[in-house]
Chains A and B, each alone.
Chain A
Amino acid sequence: MDLIISTISQGLLWAVMAIGVYLTFRVLDIADLTVEGSFPLGAATAASLLTAGYNPVLAIIIACIAGMLSGVITGVLHTKLKIPALLAGILTMIALYSVNLRIMGKANISLLQIDTIFTIFPSSLSRQMTILIIGFIIVLVVSIINYWFFGTEIGAAVRATGFNQNMIRANGINTDLTIVLGLLLSNGLVAISGALVAQSNGFADVGMGVGTIVIGLASVIIGEVLFGTKSFRNCLISVILGSIVYRIVIAIVLQLGMPPNDLKLFTAILVTLALSLPLFQAKINERKRKAANHA
């Protein structure tokens, strides 16, 4: 039972990052690698502030702002200096490695025996249950803010940017601005997730970001395939559930005794399958239609 709770709570904490990846990958239609740097940036910022005795909520907010700044840098590199989005993200990611070391002053900060967002509320609940509840609240707040924002005029413009930049420009909207805004939001969320994961794991480490983008993409794609993409609200819920399903799948394969060495390969196959399912679905439907026509 503990395993179930902890798997779901991990899924929730990482879901905030997955929403961030969804915003760049699906909404803006660019693969943003900044996340591999902004995830540990959030962790590094929050951990440094927590060890200095700051309030955990404030630490997470400042971590989020730091993440937003990194998104803005990628956005400026991409829109103003005309560097391809993928490369711009890589450049920021590399730069952030040094920045994270600067912020922490060392490669690893321990948060054991320090007050975190998961320990400040007095409760009789187990630690895992507390993480689950706080994780759920944060995901809910983040989702509501996103839902509200992308319903506003500027939010709608950001969403439209990913569809058809020319049409948006024809409507007199500055696409440079909407791209930067999208990257800002995305990396802000990723940094929040990093801050939360560091607090639940008990340490921040400069190597935390490795594989973040794959986890994010896997969550987004698994969510889309299993839970649909009918509307923006549906997409948000799909991504969150996708993140939880991803964690459950990983927990199951580990529990069934798969060597952790094969996990990366397994994840890649899983994502490939999830991505190709709609195609198979379409093929099957076509067959059915043909069969019906022949009848």
Chain B
Amino acid sequence: MFIMKNWKFTVLALAAVFASSLIAGCGSQSANNSQKKSFKIGVIQLVEHNALDAANKGFIQGLKDRGYVEGKNITVDQQNAQADQSNLQNIAQRFVSNNDDLICAIATPAAQTMANATKKIPIVGTAITDYKAARLVTSDEKPGGNVTGTSDMSPIKKQIDLLIKLFPNAKTIGTVYSSSEINSEIQVKAMTQYAESKGLTVKTATVSTVNDIQQAAQSLVGSVDVFYEPTDNIIASAMPTLTAITDAAKIPVICAEPNMVKKGGLATYGIDYYKLGIQTGHMAADILDGKSKPADMPIETAKDLKITINKKDAATLGITIPADLEKNADIIE
């Protein structure tokens, strides 16, 4: 019978062996079949959810579009921090010590950790709303460092234009958003400015948790013609609560992104994260090609926007959608 006498010693010895394997590092085994150099690309994603996963898939597709294919001339190291920010640091160090040629950072904290870990390796970000506020770049037009990428700021003006097109007689927009989310505040401010320039008035109500939504929405019913909802996490997670009130009052809800429409909103003119990822992949390809450097690549916003319409909700509200809108839209039945 085998009895481990000194297990403590054994564990320590094992740790030492592992540590030395760390020092040795993982030598890159790039199969140089082609004449081209093989690039090492690290992808760091903060957490798994629909939008970010789509952006990630899009990034890989975008590289493929430009001839950078996994296993052929690039090796992609996919890492996900699972919303645990202490893991971001480990992943960042892994990329730096592997001497990756390019890093794709998905979501703000991932990009901040990467930017903090390396000033040399080019970083392209995506699913980041405001690069300047996150101190990732000196300005959106001229980043000036090793970070560039695509922003997921929603096209608020286009969304309000859509609202006006659908409801030309609307006079007052109501919006419910959470007081603890800086993103929502920025969006509501921008929306108010634009709506007022179009002669509309805006009425707001804020919530601090999902439980306040019903009361906040109810307080606006009767004094508003249509709701506009920003990409607010609390509202997004409780759309059915909001639409239970608004549908009963026959008030339509225009949202800032498609997933909120899927959950009961009426329509949006919004970002397709997969396409945003493709755009990011193209930016990365420009860097790998040696055509441009992050320092002079302006932050890009989504080029491909799409209209999403919830026909079920339209039927509930008794609204007919103009045919020209419906033609190019993603329809949710």
Are chains A and B native binding partners rather than an unrelated pairing? yes
Interface set of A (CB-CB < 8 Å, partner B):
1-4, 6-7, 10, 14, 98, 101, 105-108, 110-114, 197, 200-203, 205, 207-208, 210-211, 215, 225-226, 245, 247-252, 254-255, 259-261, 263-264, 277, 281, 284, 287-288
Are A3 and B93 within 8 A (Cβ)?
yes
From B15, B82, B83, B180, give the contact of A101 (CB < 8 A): B180
Given contacts A4-B23, A7-B90, 16 further A-B contacts (CB under 8 A): A1-B23, A2-B97, A3-B93, A6-B89, A10-B86, A105-B182, A112-B116, A202-B113, A203-B112, A208-B85, A210-B84, A215-B86, A252-B18, A255-B94, A260-B82, A264-B82
Interface set of B (CB-CB < 8 Å, partner A):
3-4, 7-8, 11-12, 15, 18-19, 21-23, 25-26, 48, 79-91, 93-94, 96-97, 108-109, 112-113, 115-116, 133-136, 180-183, 208
* A247 CA to B48 CA, complexed, in Å: 23
Give the residue among A202, A215, A287 with the most B Cβ atoms within 10 A: A202
Chain A: which residue is nearest B18 at the CB level? Answer: A252
Are A110 and B90 within 8 A (Cβ)?
no
* A181 CA to B19 CA, complexed, in Å: 39
Chain A residue contacts of B88, Cβ below 8 A: 201
Chain B residue contacts of A245, Cβ below 8 A: 15
Chain B residue contacts of A287, Cβ below 8 A: 3
Chain A: which residue is nearest B80 at the CB level? Answer: A260
* A264 CA to B18 CA, complexed, in Å: 20
| Nearest CB in chain B: distance from A127 CB, A | 9
| Nearest CB in chain B: distance from A277 CB, A | 7
* A208 CA to B108 CA, complexed, in Å: 13
From B22, B87, B109, give the contact of A255 (CB < 8 A): B22
* A249 CA to B181 CA, complexed, in Å: 36
Chain A residue contacts of B4, Cβ below 8 A: 284
Known contacts A113-B135, A202-B116, A250-B90; decide if A210 and B83 are in contact (CB<8 Å).
yes
Known contacts A10-B89, A215-B86; decide if A254 and B80 are in contact (CB<8 Å).
no
| Nearest CB in chain B: distance from A229 CB, A | 13
From A2, A14, A111, A260, give the contact of B87 (CB < 8 A): A260
Are A14 and B3 within 8 A (Cβ)?
no
| Nearest CB in chain A: distance from B254 CB, A | 25
Chain A residue contacts of B82, Cβ below 8 A: 260-261, 263-264
Are A226 and B89 within 8 A (Cβ)?
no
* A260 CA to B90 CA, complexed, in Å: 10
* A260 CA to B94 CA, complexed, in Å: 12
Are A211 and B8 within 8 A (Cβ)?
no
Q: Chain B interface secondary structure, helix, strand, loop or mixed?
A: helix
Chain A: which residue is nearest B112 at the CB level? Answer: A203
Chain A residue contacts of B115, Cβ below 8 A: 112, 202
* A225 CA to B7 CA, complexed, in Å: 10
Chain B residue contacts of A203, Cβ below 8 A: 109, 112-113, 116, 134
Known contacts A101-B180, A207-B83; decide if A108 and B90 are in contact (CB<8 Å).
no
Are B81 and A260 within 8 A (Cβ)?
yes
Give the residue among B19, B23, B86, B97 with the most A Cβ atoms within 10 A: B86
| Nearest CB in chain A: distance from B243 CB, A | 26
* A276 CA to B134 CA, complexed, in Å: 44
Chain B: which residue is nearest A215 at the CB level? Answer: B86
| Nearest CB in chain B: distance from A270 CB, A | 11
| Nearest CB in chain B: distance from A163 CB, A | 26
From B21, B22, B94, B180, give the contact of A107 (CB < 8 A): B180
Known contacts A112-B112, A205-B109, A263-B87; decide if A4 and B80 are in contact (CB<8 Å).
no
Are B93 and A7 within 8 A (Cβ)?
yes
Q: Could you list 14 A-B pairs, sorted by A, with CB under 8 Å? A: A6-B93, A7-B90, A14-B86, A101-B180, A107-B182, A200-B89, A203-B134, A215-B86, A250-B87, A252-B19, A252-B22, A255-B26, A261-B80, A284-B4
* A113 CA to B131 CA, complexed, in Å: 13
Chain A: which residue is nearest B47 at the CB level? Answer: A207
Are A112 and B135 within 8 A (Cβ)?
yes
Chain B: which residue is nearest A10 at the CB level? Answer: B89
Chain A: which residue is nearest B85 at the CB level? Answer: A208
| Nearest CB in chain A: distance from B15 CB, A | 7
Are A108 and B93 within 8 A (Cβ)?
no
Are A2 and B93 within 8 A (Cβ)?
yes
Are B112 and A10 within 8 A (Cβ)?
no
| Nearest CB in chain A: distance from B74 CB, A | 17
Give the residue among A107, A208, A215, A264 with the most B Cβ atoms within 10 A: A107
Are A254 and B90 within 8 A (Cβ)?
yes
| Nearest CB in chain A: distance from B78 CB, A | 9
* A2 CA to B118 CA, complexed, in Å: 12
* A10 CA to B87 CA, complexed, in Å: 11
Chain A: which residue is nearest B93 at the CB level? Answer: A6
Are B3 and A284 within 8 A (Cβ)?
yes
Chain A: which residue is nearest B109 at the CB level? Answer: A205
Chain A residue contacts of B79, Cβ below 8 A: 254, 260
